[in-house]
Structure 1
Amino acid sequence: MSVKDRTRASKCAFGTKTAEFHVCTGCGVVPVVTSRIDGCLYPVVSVNAFENVEPALLRRAPATFEGENEQARLSRRKRNWIADVRFEATS
């Protein structure tokens, strides 16, 4: 994924502030959410931000995080999100 115009990317955090939501200021889409855990950056990418994804390839399942404490939340992200990435500037 690349950001052609960095002025159109903004970040926000909610509640526990353990994750940053990367938002397109033009359309409001959140293509990626990141969480820094134990000094490493863990992202999760929203498949809904991609175009032309074949719905048959997706597996949907209900999820609830109600009552999840901060440690449980970070542990779940560490298990399920992409491990230790870096964002690099491109020209």
Structure 2
Amino acid sequence: MAHSPALATRRSTAAKMRAIGTRRPLPAHGRGFVCGRCDACWTGAERDCLHCGLPATAEYTHPGAALQVLLHAVGRTTTLPHTTAARAGQEGLR
């Protein structure tokens, strides 16, 4: 005869499985700010620029959006540049 787990054990197992499947909120990040005059970005509650002391020119709620704005302004992308070895490997696949 097969052994069945006790009712309390089954309930606790089901509760653990439900806990794994529940949504958890993302960690709270501060707002991102950009100072267009100084080309600086920062996060936190302080709205004034750390360099010039004037109010921020833009505010973003997504943690990385302020940095993306500055990278775009200087023509940089977040993708890694191709190295000559990687290019040689890609040309060999053609």
User: Do these two structures clear the TM 0.5 threshold for a shared fold by scoring above it?
Assistant: no
TM-score, normalised to structure 1, is 0.19
Q: Whose helix proportion is higher, 1 or 2?
A: 2
Q: Whose strand proportion is higher, 1 or 2?
A: 1
